[in-house]
């Protein structure tokens, strides 16, 4: 599996914050470096909901509102836009299935984690005990009133995901100058409030 986040040096990845041409170019360059065809990337319009979309080889339209995607199609990459919320990738090696969610406090409150695990169970017969879970760069308790990391880990474990299978490198977006942070851009009064992307896919060579 591949679970990667773009960096500040890759540029802004949100169409809402910069002209379309620049963003498309940034995305294309980043994906190309990873060997990913931009036409195989599935994304949704994020609304801080608990909604999960199941992706087949027909990609969802760009105005599909949701905050999570699942698939068992090899060669389809899932993608979320991030600046402080947690990108959480889930991989079921037994059924070769993946899920990717965008998780902020609102999503946590609305049980998006429960929904993605439930959707993977329903669609792919996933057993939560088999899930390999990875957290991407996101705001840490050092810079936010809530410990989103802990809350998310607790929810995962409550759903029978094994602690040893949860990997959180604890990279705080506010602190790390490698990633965009919405909160930092507000506090420091920056003009740019950009987003990076996190992508998850099953690659053909070594999943
Ligand atoms: Zn921090």
Confidence bin at 130 (pLDDT 50/70/90): very high
Give the Å distance between the CA of 170 and the centre of ligand 1. 9
* pLDDT value, residue 58: 87
Instruction: Out of 74-78, 140-144, 202-206, pick the least confident.
Output: 202-206
Query: Which CATH code for domain 2-55+62-201?
Result: 3.60.140.10
Q: Does residue 25 surpass a pLDDT of 80?
A: yes
* pLDDT value, residue 206: 46
* pLDDT value, residue 205: 53
d(C-alpha 112, C-alpha 183), whole Å:
22
* pLDDT value, residue 1: 87
Give the Å distance between the CA of 202 and the centre of ligand 1. 30
Give the Å distance between the CA of 184 and the centre of ligand 1. 10
Give the Å distance between the CA of 203 and the centre of ligand 1. 32
Question: Quick one: what percent of the chain has pLDDT higher than 70?
Answer: 98
Q: Closest Cα partner for 136 from 149, 120, 151, 118?
A: 149
* pLDDT value, residue 203: 73
* pLDDT value, residue 204: 61
Say what the pTM is.
0.96
Confidence bin at 187 (pLDDT 50/70/90): very high
| 149 backbone φψ class: left, alpha, beta (φ>0; ψ -120 to 50) | alpha
Mean pLDDT of 113-134: 98
Question: Quick one: what percent of the chain has pLDDT higher than 90?
Answer: 91
Give the Å distance between the CA of 138 and the centre of ligand 1. 9
Q: Closest Cα partner for 85 from 116, 48, 119, 55?
A: 48
Give the Å distance between the CA of 151 and the centre of ligand 1. 16
**Residue in the structure block whose two tokens are 């308790």:** 141
Q: Kindly list the domain boundaries of the chain, sorted by start residue.
A: 2-55+62-201
């Amino acid at each position: 599996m591949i679970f990667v986040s773009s960096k500040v040096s890759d540029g802004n990845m949100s169409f809402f914050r910069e002209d379309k041409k620049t963003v498309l170019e940034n995305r294309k360059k980043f994906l190309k470096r990873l060997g990913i065809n931009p036409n195989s990337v599935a994304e949704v319009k994020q609304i801080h909901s608990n909604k999960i979309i199941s992706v087949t080889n027909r990609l969802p339209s760009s105005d599909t509102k949701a905050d999570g995607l699942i698939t068992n199609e090899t060669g389809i990459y899932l993608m979320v836009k991030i600046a402080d919320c947690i990108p959480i990738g889930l991989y079921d090696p037994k059924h070769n299935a993946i899920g990717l969610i965008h998780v902020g406090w609102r999503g946590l409150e609305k049980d998006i984690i429960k929904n993605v695990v439930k959707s993977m169970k329903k669609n792919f017969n996933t057993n939560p005990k088999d899930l390999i879970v990875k957290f991407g760069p996101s705001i840490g308790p050092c810079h936010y009133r809530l410990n989103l990391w802990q809350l998310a880990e607790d929810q995962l474990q409550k759903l029978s995901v094994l602690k040893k299978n949860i990997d959180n490198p604890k990279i705080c977006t506010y602190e790390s100058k490698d990633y965009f942070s919405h909160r930092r851009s507000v506090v420091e009064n920056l003009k740019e409030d950009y987003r990076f992307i996190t992508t998850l896919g099953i690659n053909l060579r070594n999943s």
